[in-house]
Each structure stands twice: as structure tokens, then as C-alpha cells.
Amino acid sequence: MKNKTVAILAAFAVAVATSASASEGSKPCDRNCLKNLVDTYIDAMVAHDPGKAPLARNITIVENIKRIRPGEGLWKTASAPPTTFRIYVPDPVAQQVGFIGVMQSEGKPIQIGLRLKVENGLITEAEHVIVHNLRESSLKNLQTPRAAFSATVPEPYRDSRGRLLKIAADYYDALDENNGRLAPFADDCVRFENGMQTSRNPVPADAPFGITGSLGCAAQLDTGIFQYIDRIDNRRVWIADEETGLAFGLSHFRHSMEKKEFRVFGVPGQEVRKMDFAPFDLPAVHVFKIWGGQIHEIEALGFTTSYNSPTGWE
């Protein structure tokens, strides 16, 4: 009888412990939890050990628009975690976190855009957008993020989560329509892509089209230089952080390149731009710094792939 009682009590203790653990795991992940989740996930990839990250059994992982399983892709090649270049966009409401960082794969620097979704303490979705073969000239801009991306937005200038998401979504409409007035760009808006500054550069002394790189974000769109973009598919602007004023977006650019030249506006000495490129796609990640209802900074990355490629989420 005594042994039976001990067995019952032991079973009860295990049940209580299991219930408590499940309850703990089901608690929503706050800002710090989500940021730590990114570090844990990347450290597990570098260790080549999926068991070191809280992955759901049915996790969906898409890396550069291809479905992979834990242990494949960057899980196999990651060789060092990000050190100084890290941008986190935690969203406790969505229970998702966006991230841009610079780490190493097979001993070489790569830029990664990462999205994680968590449910009941487990990662159910992971998305990797990776840029290999970074330009040597761009690496100097990928040592540390611009200060604005980690700065807290003072309360009087802070935008609500809903407004952050709407402003970031408007960016894709403005780009798709070649209309800088469709998104609230600040006059000081600066954009970097794969570590290269692509707006508000010093005015060059040579080629007229170099002038477009010196324009602000809105003025660039108004010239029509992005008309080669046919459409922007798979737009997902789900993640925003009110505290830092950051919004995180993923998208898939399509370029048929059926039109090799198009008219541009406001570029002195040039009325037509020629682009003799083969068709291509560009899956991309953008992080927007927003305060006072305007986009002030953009950090973006993307890689080229075959035209009309699937997104990996079909």
C-alpha cells in the first residue's frame, strides 16, 4: 500500500510539473524574449544543432525561397554568429520577430534577414533571406547599424503599431507606382541596400544617372527610375516595434525586363534610361525607421533569382 501511495504521488508530481511547464511555455513572448529567441536560434545554427533551439515539430523553414528542414541550408553552413551588426524588430502582439544581421557562413560574411514566429514557446515558422558574396566596398557599412535603428523613439514622436505597419506597407505601393507621394518619406530619408547607400549620396561630377543616387527617397521614385519593377508580390508587413519605431517587411520583386528603356523625369540631360537586363526576381527584406509619422531610414537586403520563381510559401 505504501509503495502504491508513493507511486501515485510521484505520478501526480510529474503531471503537475508537466502542466506548469506547458503553462510557462504558453506565456506570450515579450520584447526581450523575442530578441533572445533570435540569438538562441542563430547560435543553434552555428552549433549545427537544431536541438538547441525551441523548434516546433511541424516548423516551416524557408531559406532563399526554398523549403528546408532543420539541419539543412544555413543550419549546415553557419560558422559564426552576428557580432556588431544586429537590428532587432520584436513584436509581442504578432508573436513574431524580424532581424537583419551580418554573420558568417563557411567562414565568409553574409547578410541575413530573419523572421521567426513563435507559438506556445516554440518556433513554428522561420524565414531566412541571405545575401552571399557581399561587395567589399559595402562591408564598411555593415560593421554596425546606423544609430537610429537601436534608438528609442521619444514618446511625443512615437507612432502606434498600426500606423507603423501602414506606413511601411505604403512604401511598397509608392515604389510599385513610382510615386514618392504615396508614402510619408521624410526629407532626410536614407536607404541602404546590401550595405550600399542608394539615396542621399554626394552629388557625382560625372554620369547624369549618378545624380539619382544623391536624391532623397521620395524624389528618386518620382524620376521613374524604378519602372523596371513590374510588381511586388508576397508583401508581408506584419512586424513592428513601437519603442524603436521599426517596421519589418518581406517582399518578392518581379522584373520581366520586357521593356528595355523607359522615360525618366527630372534628371538633367537625360530623358531615357536603358536597361538591357535578363528577366529576374528579387526577394527582399526591409527595415524602416519611422517616427513622427515619416520614414527616416531604410535598411534593405535582397538577392537575385530566376524570374517568376515561387516564394517558398505556396
- Total domains, the chain: 2
CA dist 194 and 111 (Å) reads 7
Domain span including residue 169: 153-302
pLDDT at 153: 98
Residues 214 and 87 in one domain: no
Residue 177 lies inside a defined structural domain of this protein:
yes
pLDDT beneath 70, residues of the chain: 1-25, 206-209
**69-103: pLDDT as tens digits:** 999 999 999 999 999 999 999 999 999 999 999 99
Going by the DSSP 8-state scheme, the letter that residue 202 receives in this structure is P
pLDDT reported for residue 1: 44
Going from the C-alpha of 208 to that of each of 205, 220, 268, 269, 273, the distances in angstroms are: 8, 13, 7, 7, 11
From 142, 169, 197, the end of a domain falls on 142
pLDDT in tens, 96-136: 999 999 999 999 999 999 999 999 999 999 999 999 999 99
- Nearest by Cα to 225 from 188, 198, 186: 198
pLDDT at 6: 40
DSSP string for 248-289: EEEEEEEE-----EEE-SS-TT-SEEE-----EEEEEEEEEE
In a domain, 259, yes or no: yes
Kindly state whether residues 47 and 69 are assigned to the same domain: yes
Given 107, 142, 177, which residue is the final one in a domain?
A: 142
Q: Residue 181: give its domain's CATH number.
A: 3.10.450.50
Do 74 and 49 share a structural domain? yes
**Nearest Cα to 96, choosing from 250, 234, 204?**
250
Q: Quote the pLDDT of residue 263.
A: 94
